[in-house]
Amino acid sequence: MADGLDLTSLIRDIPDFPKPGVGFKDITPLLGDAAGFAHVVDRLTEHFTGRRVDKVVGIEARGFVIAAPIAHRLGAGLVPIRKPGKLPWTTQVQEYDLEYGTDRLEVHTDAVAAGERVAVIDDVLATGGTAAAAAALIEAIGGEVVGLGFVIELAFLGGAARLEGRDHVSLLTYE
Amino acid sequence: MADGLDLTSLIRDIPDFPKPGVGFKDITPLLGDAAGFAHVVDRLTEHFTGRRVDKVVGIEARGFVIAAPIAHRLGAGLVPIRKPGKLPWTTQVQEYDLEYGTDRLEVHTDAVAAGERVAVIDDVLATGGTAAAAAALIEAIGGEVVGLGFVIELAFLGGAARLEGRDHVSLLTYE
């Protein structure tokens, strides 16, 4: 990397988490490293700078820690997209498919005003189901999705296909 | 407020959430308001500026969105304290009392190095059980708690007593 920081050395591989056979990318060493955390926030902020972002969406829960400093740096508001039952006011709900079964995400219906420009941030782009559902939620309440940003992209899971036609950026890609 | 921003107008009161008889302070309108969000981050960052903070702890999940931009502004690392089973690596566990029963928080045992100086951030100081448990967790893994910061303090619940002898700051206090 141009500034000599090796982000991959700050990602911890956890075998069999959260279930057997799944390999988990633990970003807590990266978050806890002041230079690494600054690097991630700086690079993703740069991607959205000058693109008139009104709101930055963070997807619960790891997405919050990346989205919030980007929102702050862009001078934007921060919008949480959460798992069912966590948001206390009126919500828009989006169901999406998992490998087996479905899951749901929610956003407050007043989280974005009509026509506001929104960046969607999460820690990892995996199958793309969560990210696509988040983008659909924002559009359902009247926002315009400017783009999506991730720290890690697990390219072998094909998530980019679910975001076709959308701008997206990932800082680290595992092929 | 000196800068003319009325934070209380950006806090939404939700009756009977998450259960009947409990009044919930919804900070999502504040987070979504660019000026309000910047104000909160600026004021809490100021409280810890010049105090050599190495790590900023965010308590899951709303604490993450406040802690992360403060960590970024202070040039510190970000440490998540999470509910049981969410952190993938070796954790230190702290049990704490609720009104009825107990709950637990976890932190990775390598989240803080011995002697590192830590600020602990959450959205709301209520009974103080969560905040006191978070501070105890950080000390159990070798960190020094510089202070605690909150957006809202529900003073009538007496949480400050649980933090006696510790520095803490709250931006909005409900008596």
Taking CB atoms and an 8 Å limit, are A72 and B67 in contact across chains?
no
A127 three-state secondary structure: coil
pLDDT tens profile A94-130: 999 887 889 999 999 999 999 999 999 999 999 999 9
Has residue A2 got a pLDDT over 60? no
B42 three-state secondary structure: helix
Average pLDDT for residues A57-80, to the nearest whole number?
Answer: 98
What ipTM is given for this predicted complex?
0.96
| E strands, chain A, in order | 12-15, 23-26, 55-59, 77-81, 91-97, 102-108, 117-125, 144-154, 168-174
Catalytic site includes residue A99: yes
Q: Which of A62, A116, A153, A162 is catalytic?
A: A62
CA distances from B143 to B3, B77, B119, B140 (A): 35, 13, 10, 7
CA distance B76 to chain A (A): 5
* Dihedral sign computed on CA atoms, order A6, A12, A18, A22: positive
Chain mean pLDDT for chain A? 96
Residue B42: closest C-alpha in chain A: A72
Residue A119 contacts residue A48 (beta carbons within 8 Å): yes
Taking CB atoms and an 8 Å limit, are A78 and B65 in contact across chains?
yes
Nearest-angstrom CA–CA distance, B70 and A169 = 24
pLDDT computed for residue B49 by the predictor = 98
Beta bridge partners of A26: A12
Question: pLDDT confidence of B161, banded at 50, 70, 90?
Answer: very high
pLDDT tens profile A147-166: 999 999 999 999 999 999 99
Has residue B2 got a pLDDT over 70? no
Contacts of B112 in chain A (CB under 8 A): 32
Catalytic site includes residue B99: yes
Specify the higher pLDDT residue, A52 or A99.
A52
pLDDT computed for residue B3 by the predictor = 62
pLDDT computed for residue A3 by the predictor = 62
pLDDT tens profile B102-128: 999 999 999 999 999 999 999 999 999
Containing B138, the helix (H) or strand (E) segment is helix B129-140
Question: What is the pTM (predicted TM-score) of this model?
Answer: 0.97
Which tokens belong to A164?
Answer: 């076709």
Residues 115-134 of B with CB under 8 A from A: none
CA-closest candidate to residue B144, choices B156, B152, B136: B136
Residue A12 contacts residue B87 (beta carbons within 8 Å): no
